[in-house]
Amino acid sequence: MERLLDIDEVVAHVKEYLAQGDIDHATQTIADLRPADQAEVFSELSEGQQTQVLRKLNAEDSADILEELHDEEAADVVESLHDADLVRIIDEMEPDEAVDLLHELPPERAKSILSALSDPNEIRPLLIHPDESAGGVMTTEFLALRRRMSVAEALNAIRLWAPEPEIEESLSHLFVVDAEGRLVGVISLYKLITSPPDARIGEIMDRDVIFVRAAIDQEESARIMARYDLVALPVVDEQGILLGIITHDDLVDVLEEETTEDIQRIGGSEPLDKPYLDSSTLYIAKRRVGWLLLLFVTEMFTGTVLRHFSRELESVVALTYFIPLLIGTGGNAGSQTTATIIRSLAVGEIDWHDALRVLWHEMRTGIMLGAVMGIVGFARALMWGTGYDIALAVAVALTMVVLWANTVGSVLPLLAEKLHIDPAIVSGPFMSTLVDATGLFIYLQIAKAILGV
């Protein structure tokens, strides 16, 4: 396969088969796809069609599909399945994904299904970890080696172990534990293959293994994996006992999820916990209305400022014409700054300790940008036939407002980070709103001084 499949085309075929009552063909078409594609095609079907297909698909394919769907969507899909069918499917799911799905089911049903699973003990320990913690994304399906094993014994153990295909597919490392199950080392599959069969694991393993505690945030685990190029990250409890492993696919999922949350916050709304088109408009509106109202209230200070200068505005109406231009430019400069700072904080390029350097960086940038905007604004105002004094007021105000926006735009995200608030919320809309009222004040104060009104 070279590029992404044309999903729409496959969906059209499947729907055609279903319309003709040819469920076997429809199911086979889906079964032949890769899990990610199966899930996408599946989620384009109507609820009734989904149930038809799910009843025909084998448990393994069904499990793959449910793993790829968002948790809420998966929960909706299985609502109409018989418990026995659902148990067969969940038995085939990766433990961390199975737990996510169980969390979404009505508690009574989740309980009865859990007890009917063939290996509930693989799943039970995961239930206690919060969904967004390292413990919540790890898989408990792993093979731990012992220090005293020889390489030949370890390879034998691997041969006897028959994990889910997803796990064996990406297996590159095995972790080593002591008699109490405490994590003591790691060895790559490559190293196992290339070491003499009688070498002891404890002697050839790497003791300097990177791990995380189950309670830490999933984003921090993902950052560690990304930083150290890890394909697998072991998760341990307070005693150092190996509990599970965060795998490569989880890393990518977490990074994508966190980026989506950041970008939605930067846009000025609370993150959606479902794909966009699966979210109801009422839900989307609810996620947005809080910020919109808060910003509205903040924005009302602009009215206060304008009232304060009502005498000046009435005597020189031309001042009004530049209001949106001035506060708009301030907001834009502020957005540019915050977006850059938020991202630098997120990837760990800068932190609170760099606050002064960042501030100095942005103030110098702000002076340069402010000067350019001031000159352009001055020329433009004159071209509009505005008086020389008003043009001067606009130019000076533009320079000051851009400098001010860069200053505020760099300080606020750093301050948020320091206060353990997600810096992404101090974003574009927040910044523009804040700069609007203050920028307006700067503008009208300067105009008052220069025009002498």
> Residue 182, Cβ neighbours under 10 Å: how many?
14
Of residues 123-142, which lie at the interface with a second copy (CB under 8 A)? none
Q: Which of 357, 379, 388, 421 binds a second copy (CB under 8 A)?
A: 357
Rounded distance between C-alpha atoms, residue 252 and residue 219, angstroms:
11
Rounded distance between C-alpha atoms, residue 140 and residue 95, angstroms:
6
**Phi, psi dihedral angles at 393 (to 5 degrees):** -60, -45
Residue 453 touches a second copy, criterion: CB under 8 A: no
Residue 49 touches a second copy, criterion: CB under 8 A: no
Give the shortest CB-135-to-a second copy separation in angstroms: 14
Residue 321 touches a second copy, criterion: CB under 8 A: yes
Local structure of 186: helix, strand or coil: strand
Residue 187 touches a second copy, criterion: CB under 8 A: no
List C-alpha distances in Å: 16 to 22, 41, 197, 365: 9, 13, 56, 59
Residue 327 touches a second copy, criterion: CB under 8 A: yes
Instruction: Give the nearer residue to a second copy in terms of CB position, either 42 or 105.
Output: 42
Give the shortest CB-155-to-a second copy separation in angstroms: 6
Residue 396 touches a second copy, criterion: CB under 8 A: no
Contact 123, 141 (CB under 8 A): no
Give the shortest CB-133-to-a second copy separation in angstroms: 14
Instruction: Give the nearer residue to a second copy in terms of CB position, either 111 or 418.
Output: 418
Residue 148 touches a second copy, criterion: CB under 8 A: no
Residue 379 touches a second copy, criterion: CB under 8 A: no
Q: Which of 267, 312, 359, 415 binds a second copy (CB under 8 A)?
A: 267
The sheet carrying 242-247 orders its strands as 212-213, 232-236, 242-247
Residue 241 touches a second copy, criterion: CB under 8 A: no
Stretch that binds a second copy, among 15-23, 28-36, 49-57, 120-128 (CB under 8 A): 28-36
Residue 227 touches a second copy, criterion: CB under 8 A: yes
Instruction: Give the nearer residue to a second copy in terms of CB position, either 107 or 385.
Output: 385
Q: Which of 133, 338, 399, 438 binds a second copy (CB under 8 A)?
A: 338
Give the shortest CB-274-to-a second copy separation in angstroms: 10
Instruction: Give the nearer residue to a second copy in terms of CB position, either 115 or 310.
Output: 310
Give the shortest CB-111-to-a second copy separation in angstroms: 31
Count Cα atoms within 13 angstroms, Cβ side, for 21. Answer: 0
Dump strand ranges (E) for 224-368: 232-236, 242-247
Residue 239 touches a second copy, criterion: CB under 8 A: no
Q: Which of 38, 50, 139, 340 binds a second copy (CB under 8 A)?
A: 340
Rounded distance between C-alpha atoms, residue 236 and residue 21, angstroms:
51
Of residues 402-421, which lie at the interface with a second copy (CB under 8 A)? 402
Please give the helix or strand (H or E) that residue 279 lies within, else none. none
Instruction: Give the nearer residue to a second copy in terms of CB position, either 357 or 418.
Output: 357
Q: To the nearest 5 percent, what fractions of the chain are helix, strand and coil?
A: 70, 10, 25
Give the shortest CB-289-to-a second copy separation in angstroms: 6
Instruction: Give the nearer residue to a second copy in terms of CB position, either 18 or 435.
Output: 435
Contact 212, 135 (CB under 8 A): no
Residue 399 touches a second copy, criterion: CB under 8 A: no
Q: Which of 65, 235, 254, 333 binds a second copy (CB under 8 A)?
A: 333
Enter the DSSP assignment of 319: H
Q: For residue 99, what are its two tokens?
A: 């737990």
Residue 336 touches a second copy, criterion: CB under 8 A: yes
Q: b/e per residue, 350-389, with b = 16+ CB within 10 A?
A: beeeebeebeebbeebbeebbeebbeebbeebbeeebeee
Give the shortest CB-72-to-a second copy separation in angstroms: 14
Stretch that binds a second copy, among 85-93, 99-107, 309-317, 415-423 (CB under 8 A): 309-317
Label residue 248 exposed, middle or buried (CB < 10 Å: 0-12, 13-18, 19+). middle
Give the shortest CB-411-to-a second copy separation in angstroms: 15
Contact 181, 242 (CB under 8 A): yes
Residue 276 touches a second copy, criterion: CB under 8 A: yes
Cα radius of gyration rounded to whole Å, the chain: 29
Q: Which of 428, 438, 442, 446 binds a second copy (CB under 8 A)?
A: 428
The stretches of 20-70 forming alpha helices (DSSP H) are 23-31, 35-43, 47-56, 59-68
